Structure 1
């Protein structure tokens, strides 16, 4: 029996893994890519759908923020206040975010992962209430929840996480299998980037690889940033971030205002103190919780990473109890602050175009992969690539700790990998039993 090289064994293992992962994860990847493509165009769709509440005619002078908040609360007397987003640009409305009437403070803002609160929009110049929308009536919120959990709540977030995890594996294994030898060693070299037209399945295979590679960096960023806030892998990421950022400045939840019987700082005063020391960016202001609570202020606009900030103000004196900005963020937090808005297409048209191309590339990868499978499969059979026991034994040892580390970092991938390995083991046992019989 001839021996098999480690590289050949790795290629055969990756081919089988690539095949099963693609066949199983394709529907999820298609759903994630198409809903992500829809979400990419959120700014244009929201500008069309919500202009009547988002923007106002510019007036001569804005009313105090206290009067604007009072007008919003009068329009929704049964709801509880969450936070306020004061008008930033000259033609912006003020947004007053409310909890549903049945919700309790600190909880109930979501119904099984779907927002249940509402937003009241106020003209900052006249105090007129422009309208009130449920959070899920905002196209951005609806499209985001469609993309992340198919509008089914947090219990379904694992499904999109499963697709994203396996797409990373598909991309990595596909890249390894495609990587050509240099021309000096008799390989295709850079010519592997030119598709062979008119060659049937070979053309599909070339296009399958080239399209994914052309947008590989964008796809990788989208997948990794998406997994950082996924339910299970996100927990791993946040734990790692916390361990690396132990010295990062954070506003303690236990902050309290100085004791006293004096009047509490008002909305306009809190806004003025915040504007004086924060970047020029749209902000959200959360009022004190309880008699000794503090005002908490942070950027509402996430499209400007360097404009990130957090403030905590004494509710009576207005003194700054805590302040942090971009310059004090650790490297990993800065990377996240840039990566997540990029994932959402919030850096402008160029960002939207890249993400749209990446989504279309993912769709094409799935479609072309299915076409290749259909063309090569024997009639009436699945046609999975074979993996002999001797090839499995020749796989480099470094692969197994790498897979274990990936399974730990991406728990949903790890659980599904265990299921796949169990099915592989059962299939091999059945094959041995048939051979023995």
Structure 2
């Protein structure tokens, strides 16, 4: 890879470029430090989901195993009797002995409409061996859903998802600028230090900051990128790009429907739809969505996302059970496969090793923030609370076209980053103009 410093011409331009990266890295780290720590802490709360769910929800998730299993229709009927007013969304049949069947319902139409944007559905848990309801939880009472909403929107509804997206966007820029300053190795920009301060403490903190950043850079990059793929604004751009490039996961056509039978037969029962899907699908927990309307289709896909190679989606004729659409891992394009692997990794769903990696990365993020703030504190002049790296007039002119293209690509892909970067650029221009007015001879 061509070193960034070689893209500029002359030693002054190279120094200006390095200082511009340093200044951008400094302000991004300083301003985004609280959000980065918040994202790391809420991410930690989500990483421990398997342990928390096993502790909190064992009473509704587990039942004594038995040899007999009641028909799925009986199980769904038992759940409907408990939540008669709510619309049924989908059913997750028990996959292994000792598990319960989950029947997911939507919001109660008789209740006042929710204004906070948080989930208002309800899950009813049924013993598959006796068709008896063992419990029910509001959707947000489930720890997994609560932790996911905490990490995505701080439990403030969909309109607040931009906060964590903002942190992720700038964290990606911190990674890029940090790696640009470190590689290839060079002496730091020559900047006058306070005479009363020995550089040794700050150098020690810088070494720690660099080692922590480098150690987590690859994994953190994967985590940030996969998280952004399902964020509110960047995720929308990502999905649009997927479809434009033909890299989206195959989905049933929107106009797919069932043919009305001439003999007047009724729709398949839940049990019949389940058995038809089980004959076609991999051995994995599935979710079954019933037909919507007379010409709707049974839609079945994997509920368990921790086994990417067993992902599937099926659409069955509502009356005959014929397969109208089927796709799995083999039909997924490369980018869809990468997403199918990256998102479960981001969520820590590949087992204990995955959880430990994410815990270490979250702690490393916090350590990088602490060490960065400590370095900034140590380099401040006496009597001041902070001192940013110096601004140089040649900095922007020294930026090569490749870096501008990278920033432009990031801004297009990440709308939240785009407007926040424009605010940063406006502040820099304003400060430069203010300095020119105050010191016209030195500007």
Structure 2 length normalisation: TM-score? 0.91
Equivalent of 2:83 in 76, 84, 94: 76
1:45 paired residue number: 52
From the superposition, tell whether residues 248 and 283 of structure 1 become closer, same or farther in structure 2 (CA, over 3 Å).
closer
Distance 1:141 1:292, change over 3 A: same
Deviation at 1:110, TM superposition (A): 7.7
TM-aligned CA deviation for residue 415 of structure 1: 0.6
Partner Cα distance (1:122, 1:167) in 2: 43
Task: Answer yes or no: is the 8 Å Cα contact 2:242–2:248 preserved in 1.
Answer: no
| Contact 1:110-1:117 within 8 A present in 2 as well | no
Listed one character per residue, the Cα deviations across residues 275-302 of structure 1 (whole Å, up to 9, x for unaligned) are 0010000000000101111100000000
Distance 2:97 2:115 in 1: 34
Shift in CA distance, 435/5, structure 1 to aligned 2, threshold 3 Å: closer
Report what 1:213 is aligned to: 214
Per-residue CA deviations over 1:185-216 (Å, capped at 9, x if unaligned) read: x99xxxxxxxxxx9411111001110111121
Correspondence 1:64 to 2:66: no
Q: CA deviation at 1:34?
A: 0.7
- Counterpart of 1:341 (choices 336, 340, 344) is 344
Distance 1:67 1:211, change over 3 A: same
Q: Secondary structure at the match of 2:288?
A: strand
Aligned to 1:272: 275
Gap runs ≥5 in structure 1? 188-197
Deviation at 1:245, TM superposition (A): 1.7
Tell me the secondary structure at the aligned position of residue 417 of structure 2: helix
- Which residue of 14, 17, 20 corresponds with 1:13? 20
After superposition, what is the alpha-carbon deviation per residue over 1:321-357, rounded to whole angstroms, capped at 9, x for unaligned?
A: 1111110011110000000000000000010000000
Q: 1:387 aligns with which of 385, 391, 400?
A: 391
CA distance in 2, matches of 1:41, 1:132: 22
Alpha-carbon deviation of 1:393? 2.3
Label 1:374 to 1:248 Cα distance change in 2 as closer, same or farther (>3 A). closer
SS in 2 for 1:91: coil
Displacement of 1:435 in angstroms is 1.9
Q: Name the CA distance, whole Å, in 1 between partners of 2:391 and 2:338.
A: 40
Q: Does 1:153 align with 2:157?
A: yes
2 CA distance for matches of 1:61 and 1:402? Answer: 60
Q: Report 1:127-206 matches (<5 A).
A: 127-181=131-185, 199-206=200-207
Moved over 6 A (4+): none
| Equivalent residue in structure 1 for 2:427, among 419, 423, 427 | 423
Deviation at 1:4, TM superposition (A): 3.9
Alignment of 1:231-380 (within 5 A): 231-245=232-246, 249-260=250-261, 261-378=264-381, 379-380=383-384
Shift of 1:109: 10
Q: Is 1:93 matched with 2:100? A: yes
Q: CA RMSD of the aligned region, Å? A: 2.1
Distance 1:374 1:216 in 2: 24
Report the counterpart of residue 24 of structure 1 in structure 2. Answer: 31
Taking structure 1 as reference, are residues 109 and 252 closer, same or farther at Cα in structure 2, changes over 3 Å only?
A: farther
Q: How many angstroms apart in 2 are the aligned matches of 1:93 and 1:264?
A: 25
* Kept after mapping to 1: 8 A contact 2:102/2:126: yes
TM-score normalised by L of structure 1: 0.92
Q: 1:432 to 1:411 in 2, by over 3 A?
A: same
> For 1:103 and 1:202, how far apart are their aligned partners in 2?
64
Distance 1:246 1:409, change over 3 A: closer
Deviation at 1:59, TM superposition (A): 1.0
Relative distance call for 1:155 and 1:215 in structure 2 (3 A) is same
Change (3 A) 1:348 1:429: same
Q: Give the Cα–Cα distance (whole angstroms) in 2 for the partners of residues 246 and 384 of structure 1.
A: 43
> What is the aligned partner in structure 2 of residue 122 from structure 1?
126
Preserved CA contact (<8 Å) 1:109 1:116: no
In 2, the alpha carbon distance for the partners of 1:297 and 1:81 equals 15
How far apart are residue 402 of structure 1 and its match? 1.9
Contact residue 4 and residue 390 of structure 1 kept, 8 A: no
Work out whether residues 109 and 117 of structure 1, in 8 Å CA contact, stay in contact via their aligned partners in 2: no
Matched position secondary structure for 1:372: helix
Q: Distance in 2 between matches of 1:126 and 1:110?
A: 35
Distance across 2 between alignment mates of 1:19 and 1:70: 60
Secondary structure, counterpart of 1:97 in structure 2? strand
Structure 2 residues not aligned, in runs of 5+:
1-9, 189-198
Change (3 A) 1:425 1:216: same
Inter-partner Cα distance in structure 2 for 1:308 and 1:246: 16
Tell whether 2:109 aligns with 1:102: yes
Question: Is 1:46–1:140's contact at 8 Å kept on the other side of the alignment?
Answer: yes
* CA distance in structure 2 between the aligned counterparts of 1:411 and 1:88, rounded to whole angstroms: 41
